[in-house]
């Protein structure tokens, strides 16, 4: 497994993270098979959130991995909090209570990384800072990050936080590449020039914040997977062509497209299929050429000015 630095945390982490959102849908036997296969592949970075399966995904993971102190030492665990029914909540009380619940469900004393899950418009950054300081000082969380935040939202938090932001989880794929497209269409007046995210990709690179692409094989907002979709015939033809060249699957090529970017992205692969996860991990051994990267970008319907 290829390793990359996680922001300024000092951690070397797998270049492909295992997303556990759908783990609750598996029975115990299938969950154990999947988690154990991930570990065999060297994919020991597991991404959770307190809302996944209403907390059941975390419980199912702890059972599947046979959590113990010896097992815990081999894992890198990340979870997220802040989403509640009908609202977001970054209050000190909710963050602290959420982490306690996460730790109980995962059967561990600490998280390697805690992310704030989507921006809370009522955030009081001083409260977040107090919560993070408590969690850091009592050993419950070692590193902190955010999810779906733009540069100014991160800057607001950083003004008060006693710890660095090491990761920002953002939706990104060949078919959902607006944060890249805006950087290509600078000084243009077409639709691609609209910067929806405040140059968040460049910002994270400048500040050593690891971008973790979520839904790396989807288009739209959970509208579907582009691999094999009749909505993307040109993209799938190009994926198949390049996959044949390297002797890998289309999934591997799609993941390799993200890994080719010099920002050292860490895609979060949400599959619960052991074979599909192996195909994601195989992307670590494929380095696309510059020409192939742009061919894939264009075949998804993106344009160059």
Q: Which residues are catalytic?
A: 52
Note the pLDDT tens digit of each residue in 55-81: 999 999 999 999 999 999 999 999 999
Counting beta carbons within 10 angstroms of the beta carbon of residue 237, is it exposed (0 to 12), middle (13 to 18) or buried (19 or more)?
Answer: exposed
Beta pairing, strands 165-171 & 87-88? unpaired
Q: Determine the 3-state secondary structure of 249 from DSSP.
A: coil
Query: Which class for 42: exposed (0-12), middle (13-18), buried (19 or more C-beta within 10 A)?
Result: middle
Helix or strand or coil: residue 260? Answer: coil
Question: The tokens of 46 are what?
Answer: 């597991």
287: left (phi over 0), alpha (psi -120 to 50) or beta: beta
How far is residue 267's CA from residue 215's CA, in Å, rounded to a whole number?
A: 8
For residue 153, the model assigns a pLDDT of 98
181 closest CA partner among 292, 289, 305, 266: 305
What residues does 213 pair with on adjacent strands? 170
- Condensed to tens digits (0 to 9), the pLDDT of residues 135-191 reads 999 999 999 999 999 999 999 999 999 999 999 999 999 999 999 999 999 988 888
Q: Which domains does the chain have, with CATH numbers?
A: 3-299 (3.20.20.100)
Q: Are 298 and 304 in contact (CB under 8 A)?
A: yes
Question: Which pTM was predicted?
Answer: 0.95
Neighbours of 100 (CB within 10 A): 12
**How many whole angstroms separate alpha carbon 99 and alpha carbon 50?**
9
Instruction: State residue 128's pLDDT score.
Output: 98
């Amino acid at each position: 497994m290829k390793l990359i630095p996680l922001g300024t945390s000092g951690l070397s982490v797998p270049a492909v993270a295992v997303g556990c959102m759908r783990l609750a849908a598996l029975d115990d036997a299938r969950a154990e098979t999947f988690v154990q296969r991930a570990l065999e592949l060297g994919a020991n970075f597991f991404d959770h959130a307190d809302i996944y399966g209403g907390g059941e995904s975390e419980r199912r993971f702890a059972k599947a991995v046979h959590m113990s102190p010896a097992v815990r030492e081999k894992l890198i665990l990340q979870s997220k909090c802040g989403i509640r029914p009908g609202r977001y909540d970054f209050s000190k009380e909710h963050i602290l209570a959420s982490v306690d619940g996460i730790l109980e469900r995962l059967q561990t004393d600490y998280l390697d990384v805690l992310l704030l899950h989507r921006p809370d418009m009522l955030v009081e950054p001083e409260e977040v800072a107090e919560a993070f300081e408590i969690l850091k000082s009592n050993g419950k969380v070692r590193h902190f990050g955010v999810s779906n935040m733009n540069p100014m939202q991160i800057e607001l938090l950083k003004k008060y936080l006693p710890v660095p932001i090491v990761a920002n989880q953002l939706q990104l794929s060949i078919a959902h590449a607006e944060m890249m497209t805006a950087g290509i269409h600078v000084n243009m007046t077409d639709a691609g020039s609209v910067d929806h995210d405040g140059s968040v990709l460049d910002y994270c690179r400048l500040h050593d914040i690891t971008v973790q692409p979520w839904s790396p094989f989807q288009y739209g907002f959970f509208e579907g997977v582009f691999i094999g979709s009749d909505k993307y015939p040109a993209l799938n033809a190009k994926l198949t062509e390049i996959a044949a060249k390297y002797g890998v699957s289309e999934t591997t090529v799609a993941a390799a497209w993200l890994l080719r970017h010099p920002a050292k992205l860490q895609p979060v692969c949400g599959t619960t299929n052991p074979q599909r996860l192996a195909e994601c991990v195989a992307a670590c051994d494929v380095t696309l050429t510059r020409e192939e990267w742009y061919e894939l970008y264009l075949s998804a319907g993106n344009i160059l000015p």
